């Protein structure tokens, strides 16, 4: 039986685990609090045929590599995966990037360091660089419903995104037949965030939130930093080498599917309240 050890059973990794479990795999998970148990985790690493980490770096580096790099490097695993971020590419002024683009010029230097460290760790490593992730319970639809959606007046600002189930599909395609290497997993239609929020609002039958400047929006530093970078992420390599095809090739398909799963906001809701910016 194939067995996978997953570090960090969060939003995306938990869905990957569920998909593999449904295929008859043995799935073991190590949460952040258990990463420091060196003996137990080393034994799990040695027993696993596949290993995946979705744990982001912290101030001290990548928690998994800090504690288990030697065990991972010596592993006989047939497949090792790391969920990284397309933020490693930094700002490209809206230009397209693929896996050959330079990394390390963005605001996420710790993520870049982890990305590169995983690549150098083992011959069987696959690094998946992911843009903005959305899916059930974590989408623009939810932010509009909660009154936390915002539209920022930044002409030309473009982002890539990916439905969580398409990340699952990309990882499973890699497990099934993909070579080692770095792969972007992103949908086919990078667009301004404003278009996505407007479409989510239309699906819910409410007015979109007002268009604000960054100063007017009074975003948190983390949220404001989101708008400091502008790029389009190409996933052509995943299509060619993994045979991956997204279920939701653009935000419209993804949001429409999510909308069909849930109830719209009441027609009697106040659009100003439903769409207000509380972030």
According to DSSP, residue 61 is labeled B
Report if residue 210 sits inside a domain: yes
Report if residue 244 sits inside a domain: yes
User: What 3-state DSSP class applies to 58?
Assistant: strand
Average pLDDT for consecutive 10-residue bins of the chain (279 residues)? 95 98 97 94 98 96 97 98 96 96 87 98 98 97 95 94 98 96 97 96 97 91 86 98 98 98 42 24
Report if residue 36 sits inside a domain: no
Q: For residue 207, what are the domain limits?
A: 78-274
Strands 26-30 and 50-53 come out as: unpaired
Report if residue 61 sits inside a domain: no
Report if residue 29 sits inside a domain: no
Report if residue 66 sits inside a domain: no
Order across the sheet with 50-53: list the strands. Answer: 26-30, 3-7, 50-53, 79-85, 125-130, 181-184
Looking at the 3D structure of the chain, how many domains does it have? 1
Q: What is the pLDDT of residue 262?
A: 64
Report if residue 279 sits inside a domain: no
Tokens matching residue 116? 């590169």
Strands 132-134 and 161-163 come out as: parallel
Among 43, 36, 52, residue whose Cα is nearest residue 71: 43
Query: What CATH number is attached to the domain comprising 123?
Result: 3.40.50.720
Cα(52)–Cα(42) distance, rounded to whole angstroms?
14
Position of tokens 């497990």? 175
Distance, C-alpha 268 to centroid of its chain: 35
Q: What is the pLDDT of residue 246?
A: 97
4-21 CB burial, b ≥16 within 10 A, e <16 = bbbbbbeebbbbbbebbe
Report if residue 162 sits inside a domain: yes
Tokens matching residue 96? 């397209």
């Amino acid at each position: 039986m194939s067995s996978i050890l997953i570090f960090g059973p969060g939003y995306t990794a938990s869905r990957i685990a569920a998909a593999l479990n449904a295929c008859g795999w043995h799935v073991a998970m190590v949460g952040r609090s258990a990463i420091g148990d060196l003996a137990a985790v080393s034994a799990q690493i040695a027993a696993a045929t596949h290993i995946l980490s979705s744990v982001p770096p912290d101030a001290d580096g990548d928690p998994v590599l800090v504690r288990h790099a030697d065990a991972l490097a010596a592993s006989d695993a047939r497949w090792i995966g790391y969920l990284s971020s397309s933020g490693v590419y930094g700002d490209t002024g809206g230009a397209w990037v693929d896996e050959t683009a330079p990394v390390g010029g963005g605001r996420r230097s710790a993520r870049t360091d982890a990305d590169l460290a995983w690549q150098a760790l083992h011959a069987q490593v696959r690094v998946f660089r992911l843009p903005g992730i959305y899916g059930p319970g974590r989408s623009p639809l939810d932010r509009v419903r909660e009154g936390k959606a915002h539209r920022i007046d930044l002409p030309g600002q473009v982002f890539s995104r990916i439905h969580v189930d398409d990340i699952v599909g990309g990882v499973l395609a890699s497990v099934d037949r993909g070579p080692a290497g770095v792969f972007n997993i992103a949908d086919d239609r990078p667009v301004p965030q404003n278009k996505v929020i407007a479409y989510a609002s239309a699906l819910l039958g409410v007015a979109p939130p007002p268009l604000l400047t960054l100063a007017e929006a009074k975003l948190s530093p983390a949220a404001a930093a989101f708008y400091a970078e502008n790029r389009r992420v190409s996933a052509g390599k995943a299509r060619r080498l993994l045979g991956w095809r997204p279920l939701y090739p653009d935000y419209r398909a993804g949001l429409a599917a999510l909308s069909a799963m849930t109830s719209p906001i009441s027609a009697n809701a106040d659009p100003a309240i439903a769409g207000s910016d509380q972030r």
